[in-house]
Structure 1
């Protein structure tokens, strides 16, 4: 029993170390300069496979009833915003299949089926999202398109993003559904009082709002990612703001719904509810003003 316990502890420790190192490699170091690597679902799947292969090999003779303990390190996925439903079920399934591959007593048939299952899941998520590498002077043009980017593959190029139902709250705790942002152009900014870059660009954002203050075709919405609603409300009370002011009930869920990581972030929602994301306020401003001026010609 002590030998089995030692194996489990060693397996958990190895998973924690491997997950930590690989998350650092992909998300923080990012030597490959992968664009929006935080949003790529194949990354946590790959990390899960490597970690469970090692911990599973260490415990290849450990009784199966103890193997669920090897999933304790999955708490790390929560830290990096990947432990959400239903994606966490995919990670658990990949973990189970990987452990089957490492078991000594199982037949080759089961192991081959597990290898095939892992390969299919990993391959699906690998190619379901674009893989883009950032080159020197990477950025955006005036239309918000990427420049100096090496597109390895992108099978979603023709996909038109559409706003779906997602609930925010206003300062009176009234629910506002994002799906109602239609019939005019909505310029939505995601920010927080604790986000220094967000606060820095507030004056320029206010100038943009003032430029369109008499327009009935453009509306501005600011969505806060603050967890402290009192701090958010105090900011609104003590600073000059314009447009609709809302707060997200769950910033991680909001980021997942709109498929972006990090703030400030700006999205322009067209009257038909199609939208596009912009990390740069300057680029988003140019896209909005150019589109508005063209519509007036």
Structure 2
């Protein structure tokens, strides 16, 4: 029994170490300068598969009833905002299939099928998101488009971007569906009170709101990522920002749905509900002012 416990603990620690190193390599070192690497789903799939395989090899003869403990390291995905429904089920499925590859009791045919499913899932997520390598001269133009970057593939480049059905909340706790943002031009800003760049940008955002408030066809929505709702409400009450004030109670899911790698992040939505994203407030401001002149 002691040997079993020792192997399980060693497998857990090994998997945690591999996951930590993997995320450090891809998200922090990022030697390839992968654009928005923290949003690419194939990275946690790749890291999780290797980590689980190593933990499984160390426990290839451990009784099956103890193997669920090898999924404890998956909690580390929460640190990097990948532990959310439904993606966590994909990670768990990968983990189960990988463990099958390490078991001596599993037939070779089943191992081959498991390998094919693992590869199929990996390549599906690999190509379902753009893979872009940044260069020293990469930048965003006035339309919020990344220029001077090496696009290895981007099968969504011609895709019309609209907000999905996703619920956020106002100060009273009333639901607001992002899908309903249309019929006017909107500047949507994602922010948080704990975000220094957001707070630094707030005065300029409010200045822009006052400058364009007479244009009834342009509206502003600020969506907070604060986990402390009371702190958010205190800020709203004290500063009285213009526009609609909302908060996301599922930050990780909101980030994933809208591919938000960092805040503040800005979206200009046209009356048809089609949006463009802007990492720079200055670029968003210029684009919105041009629209205001046109109107």
Matched residue, 1:177: 177
CA distance in 2, matches of 1:158, 1:257: 18
Matched residue, 1:247: 247
Q: Does 1:160 align with 2:122?
A: no
Secondary structure of residue in 2 paired with 1:226? coil
CA distance in 1, matches of 2:257, 2:28: 23
CA distance in 1, matches of 2:59, 2:263: 42
Q: Is 215-224 or 164-173 further displaced after alignment?
A: 164-173
CA distance in 1, matches of 2:88, 2:240: 42
Q: Give the aligned CA root-mean-square deviation in angstroms.
A: 1.4
Task: Give the total of aligned pairs.
Answer: 295
CA distance in 2, matches of 1:280, 1:212: 19
Matched residue, 1:148: 148
Matched residue, 1:126: 126
- Equivalent positions of 1:264-283 (< 5 A) are 264-283=264-283
CA distance in 2, matches of 1:97, 1:38: 24
Q: Does 1:39 align with 2:34?
A: no
CA distance in 2, matches of 1:172, 1:89: 33
Structure 2 gaps of 5+ residues are none
CA distance in 2, matches of 1:236, 1:88: 34
In the TM superposition, residue 212 of structure 1 has moved relative to its aligned partner by 1.1
In the TM superposition, residue 240 of structure 1 has moved relative to its aligned partner by 5.1
Relative to the length of structure 1, the TM-score reads 0.95
Matched residue, 1:291: 291
Structure 1 gaps of 5+ residues are none
CA distance in 2, matches of 1:233, 1:73: 36
Relative to the length of structure 2, the TM-score reads 0.95
CA distance in 2, matches of 1:147, 1:162: 22
Matched residue, 2:20: 20
Matched residue, 1:206: 206
CA distance in 1, matches of 2:55, 2:121: 20
CA distance in 2, matches of 1:46, 1:97: 13
CA distance in 2, matches of 1:178, 1:105: 49
* Structure 1 ranges of 4+ moved more than 3 A: none
